[in-house]
């Protein structure tokens, strides 16, 4: 089976976010960048499918030169090949722009895949857009937010999370899947893997080489403001006898907050 | 025109879709344009009155047995067909499991940008400005969409549902010929959680437990507390889920679900940044923790410092009494 996995380089979730007000962007200095956590489930699922059924795993990322580091991690985990699509723009929040780049890269450089695996959302932008957009641009079926995947021959069955339950989606391949926590437990890279990854190349393709012209990828999202959330008012903290504090809390919820 | 897609589950319009329609109505009124609703399904015209009652002037219906089962491809095709014909300036979806699956496909089909998970929409200088959390709520981004229609998904439980009225309007049936191969993926079955519990994202009140519960048994204390309210659900921290004390669909936070209930109660939860990511947009936050220094108290409106095993049963009793009056 020929599997493509799409990963994004993002600030790790422990990061303290600082806002640059003039440019309405997040300051990048001092941030620790990682592969987006849901994308790791996608990489792991691809490796497991390959181990069970044979085939190749290619991992692709759209981003700046620094993105090579997360692709190396994927090589160390066991991916066969990687591809960096070089895009110099910082975060645009325009999922369709990224999806267009990915769809074009698939058509021109990565044809013949049976399965396209994504994370359910890239942490940070928290968009949850790219996988379904790529599916639509390529005319493929999709299952997003998947916690269980079975592939047999030319079809796949996925369980996806919905409110209060799961949906079973039956898909014919090729198909797009986005991974949710619960799908698997990602492996750690081994020392041997890390050493081997160092020797493998990280090929780069430019937007130009994918046939995009200067005006083709102007973001359609315009940032007009970026702010930290309004600080919550310091709350009322009750101490002492459990029965009394419980009674006082209920009184506050009813008379002051009026939520009950 | 501002339109809202109305999601149907179990033969009813989802509450989060009514929230999206109500917000469409409010912003449309401000802009002096019409409000429309869109229904896609098999034999769904009976639901149009509910949309009129929420202020839709027009209800577009795509009614075809093909849509009995959800297929993101076919549904996106129908909704893009609606947009091409009715030409709304904005089109809202609820940011539910279905909305998040469908809206990006519709956007890609129309070749327009989408803003996900909005928590505020304003009219500024005659144009819509969308605000949404990024970095799991550590920052809020405001933005405009330069493509049309402007597509947005709206976070459930954030936008109020308007007062239902006696409204009527025009019903417009759309014929959509679904092309071959549009159902290469489709839902064949819905597996409900056995207990038929309310999902944490849909509850008005969420009572969550963490490592402080020390085991699965104490979750019954939280279930008892939740049972006092009509629309409450039990949530959990990742530690509780990873310990196997409760199913992972209950997890609230960065890698779990994002909830915005009227009232969120964090019991035996320290308040790690990844947990706060999932619940800090709750309207009121209550914390019960034995450690007065626990970070959860920094975001809580009300807190009790104490042993949850003593406090929670008392709280359940007091709530029962209060709700009886
Ligand atoms: C990439 C990533 C993603 C993550 N995603 C999530 C996520 O989605 N959701 C999430 O919740 N976490 C997430 N985490 C984990 C998070 O960092 C914390 O580890 C976790 O939230 C801690 O859970 P807790 O508060 O239950 O446990 P603890 O931090 O151990 O807190 C337990 C609390 O219980 C209190 N306590 C103990 N006994 C009692 C008692 N008898 N009465 C009252 N109080 C008591 C203690 O004082 C303490 O404050 C993530 C972490 C990472 C790295
Ligand atoms: N720049 C990118 N390069 C490669 N994959 C991406 C990129 N951005 C998003 N993705 C993929 O799309 C998923 C969802 O991202 P998003 O729509 O941004 O939330 C991610 O988990 C990745 O799998």
pLDDT digits (tens, 9 = 90+) for A201-246: 999 999 999 999 989 999 999 999 999 988 777 799 999 999 999 9
Mean pLDDT over A117-136 rounds to 97
Nearest-by-Cβ selection for A145 from B97, B137, B297: B97
**CB-CB under 8 Å, B114 with A224:** no
Res B192: pLDDT: 80
The answer to whether residues B228 and B158 belong to one domain is no
What is the CB-side half-sphere exposure of residue B18 using CA atoms within 13 A?
Answer: 19
Query: Does pLDDT of B100 surpass 90?
Result: yes
Contact B41, B75 (CB under 8 A): no
Residues 129-158 of B with CB under 8 A from A: 129, 131, 133-147
Whether the CB of A185 is below 8 Å from some CB of chain B: the reply is no
Res B36: pLDDT: 98
Query: In angstroms, how far apart are the furthest CA atoms of chain A?
Result: 71
Domain count of chain A? 2
The answer to whether residues B153 and B223 belong to one domain is no
Does some domain include residue B192?
Answer: no
Residues 227-266 of B with CB under 8 A from A: 229, 248-249, 251, 254-256, 262-263
Instruction: Determine how many CB atoms are found less than 10 A away from the CB of residue A123.
Output: 24
Chain B residues lying within 8 Å of A149, measured CB to CB: none
HEC sequence for B239-295? HHHHCCCCCHHHEECCCCECCCCCEEEEECCCCCHHHHHHHCCCCEEEEEECCCCCC
Task: Give the pair of three-digit tokens for residue A45.
Answer: 């699922």
Best mutation site among B103, B109, B138 for testing chain A: the one with the most A CBs within 10 Å? B138
Mean pLDDT over B120-140 rounds to 95
The answer to whether residues B50 and B137 belong to one domain is yes
Mean pLDDT over A156-160 rounds to 97
The answer to whether residues B133 and B260 belong to one domain is no
Q: Domain range spanning residue A242?
A: 230-260
CA distances from A156 to A148, A168, B215 (A): 10, 10, 37
Q: Domain range spanning residue B40?
A: 2-173
The answer to whether residues B265 and B210 belong to one domain is yes
CA distances from B107 to A35, A220, B74 (A): 26, 12, 14
Contact A166, A160 (CB under 8 A): yes
Contact B147, B112 (CB under 8 A): yes
Query: Does pLDDT of B2 surpass 90?
Result: yes
Pairing of strands B114-118, A155-162: unpaired
Residue B148 backbone dihedrals phi, psi, to 5 degrees = -135, 140
Res B194: pLDDT: 62
Q: In chain B, whose CA is at the least distance from the CA of A99?
A: B108
HEC sequence for chain A? CEEEEECCEEECCCCCCCEECCCCEECCCCCCEEECHHHHHHHHHHHHHHHHHCCEEEEEEEECHHHHHHHHHHHHHCCCEEEEEECCCCCCCCHHHHHHHHHHHHHHHCCCCCEEEEECCCCCCCCCCHHHHHHHHHCCCEEEEEEEEEEECCEEEEEEEECCEEEEEEEECCEEEEECCCCCCCCCCCHHHHHHHHHCCCCEEECCCCCCCCCCCCCCEEEEEEECCCCCCCCEEEECCHHHHHHHHHHHHHHHCCCC
Does some domain include residue A214?
Answer: no
pLDDT in tens, B237-290: 999 999 999 998 899 998 889 999 999 999 999 999 999 999 998 999 999 999
What whole-number distance in Å separates Cα of residue A3 and Cα of residue A113? 6
The answer to whether residues A254 and A162 belong to one domain is no
Does some domain include residue B118?
Answer: yes
The answer to whether residues A192 and A108 belong to one domain is yes
The answer to whether residues A173 and A260 belong to one domain is no
The answer to whether residues B144 and B264 belong to one domain is no
Res A233: pLDDT: 79
Question: In angstroms, what separates the C-alpha of B236 from chain A's closest C-alpha?
Answer: 15
Q: Percentage of residues in chain B with pLDDT exceeding 90? A: 87
Whether the CB of A116 is below 8 Å from some CB of chain B: the reply is no
pLDDT in tens, A177-200: 999 999 999 999 999 999 999 999
> Which CATH number do you get for residue A36?
3.40.50.620
Does some domain include residue A225?
Answer: no
Does some domain include residue A196?
Answer: yes
The answer to whether residues B212 and B64 belong to one domain is no
Find the distance separating the first CA and the last CA of chain A, reported in whole Å.
Answer: 55
CB of A92 within 6 A of ligand 2: the answer is: no
Domain count of chain B? 2
Does some domain include residue A212?
Answer: no
- Tokens 């956007």 locate to B107
Rounded to the nearest whole angstrom, what is the distance from the C-alpha of residue B314 to the centroid of ligand 2?
47
The answer to whether residues B218 and B317 belong to one domain is yes
> Which CATH number do you get for residue B19?
3.40.50.620
What whole-number distance in Å separates Cα of residue B159 and Cα of residue B54? 13
**CB-CB under 8 Å, A238 with B305:** yes
Task: Give the pair of three-digit tokens for residue B4.
Answer: 């809202």
Query: Does pLDDT of B173 surpass 70?
Result: yes
Res B196: pLDDT: 62
What whole-number distance in Å separates Cα of residue A21 and Cα of residue B49? 47
CB of A3 within 6 A of ligand 2: the answer is: no
The answer to whether residues A173 and A62 belong to one domain is yes
Chain A residues lying within 8 Å of B133, measured CB to CB: 126, 229
Query: Does pLDDT of A44 surpass 80?
Result: yes
Q: Which atom of ligand 2 is nearest to the CA of A36?
A: 21
CB of A95 within 6 A of ligand 2: the answer is: yes
Does some domain include residue A20?
Answer: yes
Eight-state DSSP code of residue B11: T
Mean pLDDT of chain B: 95
Residue A50 backbone dihedrals phi, psi, to 5 degrees = -65, -45
Pairing of strands B284-289, B263-267: parallel
CB of A127 within 6 A of ligand 2: the answer is: yes
The answer to whether residues B81 and B227 belong to one domain is no
What whole-number distance in Å separates Cα of residue B141 and Cα of residue A65? 26
What whole-number distance in Å separates Cα of residue A18 and Cα of residue A53? 45
Res A72: pLDDT: 96
Of A86, A76, A69, A83, nearest to A208 (Cα)?
A86
CA-based torsion, B269, B272, B274, B276: positive or negative: positive
CB of A124 within 6 A of ligand 2: the answer is: no
Does some domain include residue A157?
Answer: yes
Res A122: pLDDT: 96
Contact B101, A162 (CB under 8 A): no
Does some domain include residue A71?
Answer: yes
- Tokens 């899947």 locate to A177
Does some domain include residue B181?
Answer: no
Does some domain include residue A218?
Answer: no
Question: In angstroms, what separates the C-alpha of A78 from chain B's closest C-alpha?
Answer: 24
Whether the CB of A159 is below 8 Å from some CB of chain B: the reply is yes
Res B177: pLDDT: 85
Task: Name which residue sits closest to atom 7 of ligand 1, judged by CA.
Answer: B253
> What ipTM was reported for this prediction?
0.92
Task: Name which residue sits closest to atom 1 of ligand 2, judged by CA.
Answer: A62
The answer to whether residues B163 and B29 belong to one domain is yes
Res B195: pLDDT: 63
The answer to whether residues B169 and B283 belong to one domain is no
Res A222: pLDDT: 97
Confidence band, pLDDT 50/70/90 cuts, at residue B103: very high
Contact A66, A8 (CB under 8 A): no
Mean pLDDT of chain A: 95
Q: Whole-structure pTM over 0.90, yes or no?
A: yes
What whole-number distance in Å separates Cα of residue B261 and Cα of residue B156? 9
């Amino acid at each position: 089976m020929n599997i493509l996995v799409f990963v994004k380089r993002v600030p790790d979730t422990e990061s303290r976010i600082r806002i640059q007000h003039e440019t309405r962007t997040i300051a990048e200095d001092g941030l620790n960048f990682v592969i987006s956590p849901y994308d790791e489930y996608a990489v792991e699922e691809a490796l497991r499918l390959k181990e069970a059924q044979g085939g190749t795993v290619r991992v692709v990322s759209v981003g700046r030169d620094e993105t090579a580091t997360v692709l190396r991690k994927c090589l160390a985990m066991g991916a066969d090949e990687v591809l960096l699509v070089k895009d110099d723009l910082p975060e645009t929040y325009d999922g369709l722009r990224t999806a267009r780049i990915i769809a074009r890269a698939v058509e021109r450089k990565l044809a013949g895949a049976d399965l396209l695996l994504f994370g359910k959302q890239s942490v940070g932008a928290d968009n949850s857009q790219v996988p379904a957009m790529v599916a639509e641009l390529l005319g493929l079926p999709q299952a997003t937010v998947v916690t269980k995947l079975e592939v047999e021959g030319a079809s796949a069955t996925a369980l996806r999370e919905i409110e209060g339950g799961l949906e079973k989606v039956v898909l014919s391949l090729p198909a797009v899947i986005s991974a949710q926590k619960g799908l698997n437990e990602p492996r750690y890279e081994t020392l041997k893997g890390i050493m081997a990854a160092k020797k493998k190349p990280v090929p780069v393709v430019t937007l130009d080489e994918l046939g995009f012209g200067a005006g083709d990828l102007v973001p359609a999202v315009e940032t007009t403001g970026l702010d930290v959330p309004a600080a919550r008012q310091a709350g009322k903290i009750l101490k002492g006898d459990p029965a009394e504090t419980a009674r006082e809390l209920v009184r506050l919820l009813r008379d002051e907050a009026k939520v009950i | 025109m501002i339109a809202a897609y109305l999601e149907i589950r179990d033969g009813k319009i989802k509450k989060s879709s009514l929230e999206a329609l109500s917000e469409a109505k409010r912003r449309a009124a401000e802009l002096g344009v019409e409000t429309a609703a869109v229904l896609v399904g098999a034999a769904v015209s009976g639901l149009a009155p509910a949309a009129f009652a929420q202020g839709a002037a027009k209800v577009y219906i795509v009614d075809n047995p093909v849509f009995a089962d959800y297929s993101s491809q076919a549904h996106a095709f129908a909704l893009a067909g609606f947009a091409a014909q009715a030409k709304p300036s904005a089109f809202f979806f609820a940011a539910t499991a279905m909305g998040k699956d469908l809206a990006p496909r519709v956007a890609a089909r129309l070749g327009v940008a989408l803003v996900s998970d909005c928590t505020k929409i304003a009219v500024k200088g005659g144009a819509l400005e969308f605000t949404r959390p990024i970095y799991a709520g550590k920052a809020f981004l405001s933005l405009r969409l330069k493509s049309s229609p402007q597509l947005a998904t709206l976070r459930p439980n954030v936008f109020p549902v308007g007062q239902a009225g006696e409204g009527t309007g025009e019903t417009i049936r759309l014929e959509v010929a679904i092309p071959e191969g549009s159902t290469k993926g489709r839902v064949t079955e819905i597996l409900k959680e056995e207990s038929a519990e309310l999902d944490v994202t849909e509850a008005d009140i969420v009572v969550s437990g963490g490592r402080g519960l020390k085991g699965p048994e104490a979750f019954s204390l939280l279930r008892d507390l939740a049972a006092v309210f009509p629309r409450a659900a039990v949530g959990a921290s990742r530690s509780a889920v990873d310990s196997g004390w409760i199913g992972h669909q209950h997890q609230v936070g960065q890698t779990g679900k994002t909830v915005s209930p009227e009232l969120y109660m964090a019991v035996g939860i320290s308040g790690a940044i990844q947990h706060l990511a999932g619940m800090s947009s709750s309207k009121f936050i209550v914390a019960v923790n034995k450690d007065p220094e626990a970070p959860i108290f920094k975001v809580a409106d009300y807190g009790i410092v104490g042993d949850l095993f003593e406090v929670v049963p008392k709280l359940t009793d007091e709530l029962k009494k209060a709700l009886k009056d």
